[in-house]
Amino acid sequence: MNGEQYLIMAYVVGVVVLWGYGALLWLEARAMTRAESNASAPAAPAAPALEE
Amino acid sequence: MNRTILSWAYWTITALLFAATVAMLIVYTPTERTMGPVQKIFYLHLPVAINTFVACFIVFVASIGYLWQRTMWWDDLASSAGKVAALFCTVVLLTGMIWGRNAWGHWWTWSPRLTFSLVLWLLYVVYVLIRPSIESPQRRAVVSAVYGIAAFADVPIVYLSVKFLPDIHPASIALEPAMKLTLLAWFIPVTMLCLGLVRARHVLSGRQRRLEARHRAAVADADERILHVAGEPA
C-alpha cells in the first residue's frame, strides 16, 4: 500500500467511527420519540380479565 | 420545536464544515516533502486527540459535579462524555496506527506516548462497560464519579510523556502557514462534533431516565390496580 491509500484508510476509519456514532444516536433518538409517544397514549382499562 | 431546528442547524453546519475541511485537504493543503501524503493524517489525528482530552475533562468536571451536588444530571453528563472519550480515543489510536504503519513500517510500538494512550483508551472503555454492571443508580453514579476523577490522571501523562520520556512519537512538527491553517480549520468541525455528540448523548440519557421513571410509575400503578381488583369481594 502507498501513502495515499493509508491516508484514505485513516480518513474513512475516522469519518465512519465518528459519524457512525452520531447516526446511532440519531436512530436512538427516533426510537425514543416513538417510545415517548407510546407512553403518553391513554392506558387501556386495568385488568378486565380479573373483573370477569 | 426551536430546539429541533437548532439541533438540525448545528449538525448541518458541522457536516458542511467537515466536508469543507476534507476539500481543503485535497485541493489546498500542500503535501509534506519527507513523509508524503500520509502526513495529512495528522490534520485529523491531532484535533481528535485534543478533543479526546476535552471529553475526558468533561468526565472529570461532571464527576466532581456529581459528588458535590448528587444530581443525576451530572452523572448523565459524565457518562455521555465517557462514551465520546472512548470513541475519540479509538479514532486517535486507529489513525495513529495507520500513520505509523507507513512512517515506521509497523502498526504498533510500545513507546511511552502510545502506551499511555492505549491505557487511556482502556480506562474509558472500562468506564463505559462497567457502568451497566452496577444495579443501583446512586451507587453506579458514585463509583463512576470516583473512577472518572481517577482516570483523568492519565491525560496529563499522555500529554507530557512525549516531552519528558524518550519517544519515537513526534513531539512537534514544523508546519508551513497553509498547513497551520488546515490544522486550525480541522479543529472547528472536530470540536463541534465532539461537543455535539456529548450533548446529544446527554439529552438522550435524560429522556431515557424520564421514560424509565414513567414506565416504573405506570407498572406500579397497574400493580396497585390489579391488587385492588383482586382484593375486591366477589
What is the C-alpha separation between A22 and B196, in angstroms, rounded? 9
B89 touches chain A (CB under 8 A): no
Pick from B91, B197, B225: which is nearest to A22 by CB? B197
The predicted structure's pLDDT at residue A52:
44
Q: How does residue B156 score in pLDDT terms, banded at 50, 70 and 90?
A: very high
The predicted structure's pLDDT at residue B233:
61
CB B127 within 8 A of CB B89: no
The predicted structure's pLDDT at residue B40:
93
Q: Express each pLDDT in A6-34 by its tens digit.
A: 999 999 999 999 999 999 999 999 999 99
Please tell me the pTM assigned to this model.
0.88
The predicted structure's pLDDT at residue B176:
87
Q: Express each pLDDT in B157-174 by its tens digit.
A: 999 988 877 777 777 777
- What is the average pLDDT value for chain B, to the nearest integer? 92
CB contact under 8 A, A17 and B102: no
* Residue B174, all three cell numbers: 514544523
Q: How does residue A46 score in pLDDT terms, banded at 50, 70 and 90?
A: low
What is the C-alpha separation between B114 and B107, in angstroms, rounded? 11
User: Higher-confidence residue: B215 or B166?
Assistant: B215
Residues 26-85 of B with CB under 8 A from A: 35-38, 40-41, 44-45, 48, 84
* Residue B119, all three cell numbers: 491505557
User: Higher-confidence residue: A31 or A3?
Assistant: A31
Backbone φ and ψ of B165, nearest 5°:
-120, 150
- Average pLDDT, integer, range B81-101: 96
CB contact under 8 A, B22 and A22: no
ipTM value, please give it: 0.84
The predicted structure's pLDDT at residue B149:
97
Look up residue B213 and give its amino acid: A
Pick from A1, A4, A39: which is nearest to B211 by CB? A39
Contact partners, residue B86, CB within 8 Å, separation at least 6 = B121, B124, B125, B127, B128
User: Higher-confidence residue: B36 or B145?
Assistant: B145
Q: Where are the beta strands (DSSP E) in chain A?
A: none
Quick one: what percent of chain B has pLDDT higher than 90? Answer: 72
B215 touches chain A (CB under 8 A): yes
Domain ranges of chain B: 2-231
Residues 10-39 of A with CB under 8 A from B: 10-11, 13-15, 17-19, 21-22, 25-26, 28-29, 32, 35-36, 39
- In the block, residue with C-alpha cell 491505557: B119
Kindly identify which residue of chain A lies nearest to residue B217, measuring between CA atoms.
A39
What is the C-alpha separation between A20 and B83, in angstroms, rounded? 13
The predicted structure's pLDDT at residue A44:
57
- In the block, residue with C-alpha cell 459535579: B65
B102 touches chain A (CB under 8 A): yes
Architecture of domain B2-231: Up-down Bundle (1.20)
Chain A residues lying within 8 Å of B225, measured CB to CB: 46-47
The listed range with the strongest mean pLDDT (B145-149, B207-211, B214-218, B219-223) is B145-149
